[in-house]
Every structure is written in structure tokens, then in C-alpha cells.
Amino acid sequence: MNAKQAKYPQLRFKDFTDPWEQRKVGELYKVTRGQVLATSKTTPEKVGKNQYPVYSSQTKNDGLMGYYSDYLFDTAITWTTDGANAGTVNFRPGKFYSTNVNGVLLSADGLANKAMAENLNRSAWKWVSHVGNPKLMNNVMSEISVMIPVNLSEQEKISKFLMMIDNTITLHQRKLAKLKELKQGYLQKMFPKNGSKFPQLRFAGFADAWKERKLESFTLLITKQTGFDYSATIKPALVNKSEGNVYPFIQNKNFSGFKINMNTDFYIPIEVANKFPRITLDQPSLLVTISGNIGNVGLYNSDEKAFVGGAVGICKLNNLIEGEFILYELESDFGQRQFKRSTKSSSHANITVEMIKNIDILIPKNELEQKKLAHFSNN
């Protein structure tokens, strides 16, 4: 794209034809930062005097940490300055409090809007320093250049459009959450619990007791990241975004429901991953968190290869249908008891590969019942 083309978006609202212009963030905004606030002073919901949202560096709930009795800013753009989410940019409408791990962009000219926040979010990550703890400090943010619509009305139209899409997504997410809750209620009754080998709720035509097998019998390989110095070998090779010839780097925070989120924060060059084929995902696999928060499970089934971090155990499957069934078995009351039984007592909870291999799985004797349950669970 040449310089002239770069000044005109491919798609825009009618009546806007002026070229966009390139400006530095520091020329457009007052660049400042939030203040320290103890979590103990906030409440999870709006209660009493705590009516103002507090935003921090986390990505959960778009950074909402809770609510507080005072505010620092009124309609602004924030970005995460420190940590794994450094460079994440958000639009914050209305009065709010921001903690010290957020930078804040203020504008008296209406430039603190959704359109500008989304535009900046597309490029801010490129400026994050990864020397030690990831950082994007105020002085660096001030020097970032972005293309912006000269006409404020065009910014406002783009902002309204993007916020309309966000509101629609939120509405559907709430509906989805209710459906997931309903599904989970059914699943709790469709898998045996409390030591029984008979589920409370079954498909018609099935009455036999379920049989017990070791998890190892369903897999080609159960392994984890081991046998090398992670800090010296893997950590220095990680990159922040996909730049071609890389695999996603899967960590325990990439578990999304029962699926694995391949849109990850870090990627690893293929030439590095190829040195460790046992922990490179190249076939349907169950992934299990084995350190810290034990027992989260997810199913990897993708044409895209991936590389797995050290807090995740890998169970490369013999059969995808069996894997889909086992996924929900491990999330059931029966499955979670297996993890608790296997967890080593220490200051940092963890389970070993040998423990994973010996986890008991209750499975229907009739293969058709197993397939029906897997189909129901996966829809």
C-alpha cells in the first residue's frame, strides 16, 4: 500500500471523503496514569457509595476489577502498561477509577472515543517492551503514530457502529451463558456421581452399569513439558504476535470452556517447536492443567499445530469421539474427585504425568451410548 492509499480506508460511511492524517498520540491526548487502589476497598458489584467502575490490567470482564466510591476520570481511553496484557487498549465511557497499571489518554476535544481506542489497539502491542516484565510506558505511548479521521463526525459514526456491535455481542454472550448453565445441569445428571456407576439421567434403551478404565488406555501418549531448561530454551524464543512460521503457545489461561483458545498472547517459531515434538500438538488431544489450578480440561482438535507450556499436561488421543466423552467425564463430579485425589500436597498444588495416567474414567459399556453422550456434550 502506498502513502496515498494509506490515507483512505477501504470502507467508510458515506459523505466522508477527506484523507485521514497521521498523528502522534502525545499530540492528540493528555497522557497520564491511574493510581494505586487496594482491591479490599472495592466491591464486586455496585453497592452503597461504590458506584464507579474500577479498571485494572486484567482482561477478564474487560479489565473491570470492581466498584469504588470515587472516580479519577470521565470518559477516556486506557491501556495496560505492565504485565502479560501490556498494550491492550480500551475505551472507558463515563466516570471511572483506573489503577496504576493502566495508562490513560484524556481529550477535551472528543478524541477519547471507541473508534480511536480500537484504532490504537491495532498497533499498540507492537510497541511493548519484552525486556523482563512486558511494559508499554507513557513516554513510548506518546510517540506512537496512528492514522485518524480529520472529521470528528466520522469518528463518532465509527464509534457508534462499533459500540452497537459490542452491545449485540454482549447480549448474545448472556444468552450463551444461560444455555451453558442449562447444559451443565443436564451433564451433571448424565454422568455417574457419588460413587455410583449409573447416571441419574440416560438416553432411552440403556440400563447397564458403566465400566471403569484408566485414562492412559484412551491415549497414544501422556506427557508434559520436561527435560530441558524452559527459561533458557523456550522463554527467549516467544514472540508477542503471529508473524508467520510460528505456532500458538498454549498456557493454562488459554482454556476457554472445554475448548482451547488458539488466539493466544504468545507464539513460538516453528524451528524451535520442532525440537520438542512430544509437546507439539499435531493430533486431537486432551489438555489438563497440572499445576496451580488443577483439573481444568480442554479439547484440542485443530488443523493448526500448537506448542504447550509447562503447566499443562497433554493426552494425545487414540479416538476423537472417546476424547469428547472423556472431556466431560473429567469435568463431572466423578472426574474432579480423581484430580483432587491425585493432587500432591505442597505449597504449589500439582499432579504428575503418572498420576494423570492412573485417573479413573467411567464409560458406558455400550459404544452407542458413549457416542450419544459425546454428541450431546459437544453441541
Task: Give residue 236's identity as a one-letter amino acid code.
Answer: P
Q: How many domains does the chain have?
A: 2
Query: Sign of dihedral through CA atoms 261, 264, 270, 276?
Result: negative
Instruction: State whether 343 and 199 are in the same domain.
Output: yes
> Is 292's pLDDT higher than 50?
yes
Proportion of the chain above pLDDT 70, given as a percent: 94
In a domain, residue 183? The reply is: no
Confidence check: pLDDT of 1 > 50: no
Q: pTM value?
A: 0.59
Q: What is the mean pLDDT of residues 147-174?
A: 93
Helix (H, G, I), strand (E, B) or coil at 219: strand
215 and 298 in one domain?
A: yes
Q: Are residues 159 and 206 in the same domain?
A: no
Per-residue model confidence as pLDDT tens digits over 300-337: 988 889 999 888 999 999 888 788 888 888 877 777 77
What pLDDT does residue 242 have?
59
Q: Is residue 247 part of a domain?
A: yes
| Same domain? 124 vs 258 | no
What pLDDT was estimated at residue 379? 64
Whether 237 and 294 share a structural domain: yes
pLDDT at 6: 65
Residue 184 lies in a domain: no
* 5-41: pLDDT as tens digits: 468 888 889 889 899 999 999 999 999 999 999 999 9
Same domain, 206 and 339: yes
Does 178 map to a domain? no
Beta strands in the chain (DSSP E): 21-24, 30-33, 52-55, 64-68, 73-80, 89-98, 102-106, 145-148, 211-214, 219-223, 246-250, 255-256, 259-260, 267-269, 280-281, 285-289, 297-300, 306-308, 312-317, 360-363
How far is residue 246's CA from residue 311's CA, in Å, rounded to a whole number? Answer: 21
At 349, is the pLDDT very low, low, confident or very high (cuts 50, 70, 90)?
Answer: low
Its domain, for residue 65, covers: 3-163
Q: What's the pLDDT band for 50 if we cut at 50, 70, 90?
A: very high
Q: Which band of pLDDT confidence, cut at 50, 70 and 90, is reported for residue 3? A: very low
Is pLDDT larger for residue 67 or for residue 57?
67
Which of 255, 178, 202, 209 lies closest to 376 in space, CA to CA?
Answer: 202
As a whole number, the mean pLDDT across the chain is: 87
- Do 25 and 134 have their domain in common? yes
Q: What is the rounded distance in angstroms from the CA atom of residue 85 to the CA atom of residue 61?
A: 13
Tell whether 92 is covered by a domain.
Answer: yes
Residue 80's pLDDT band, with cuts at 50, 70 and 90, is: very high
164-188, pLDDT tens digit by residue?
A: 999 999 899 899 889 878 887 887 7
Residue found by looking up cell 511493548 in the block: 128
CATH number of the structural domain spanning residue 292: 3.90.220.20
128 and 208 inside one domain: no
Do 220 and 151 sit in the same domain of this protein? no
Is 259 inside any structural domain? yes
Give the pLDDT confidence of 217-265 residue by residue, as tens digits.
Answer: 999 999 988 877 777 788 888 887 656 789 999 988 888 767 788 888 7
For residue 177, being part of any structural domain is answered with no
State whether 200 and 147 are in the same domain. no
Among the candidates 163, 178, 206, a domain finishes at 163
Same domain for 155 and 230? no
Give the model's confidence band at 2: pLDDT under 50 very low, under 70 low, under 90 confident, else very high.
very low
Domain contains 174:
no
pLDDT confidence of residue 262:
83
**H or E segment and range at residue 233:** helix 230-233
Same domain for 349 and 212, yes or no, is yes
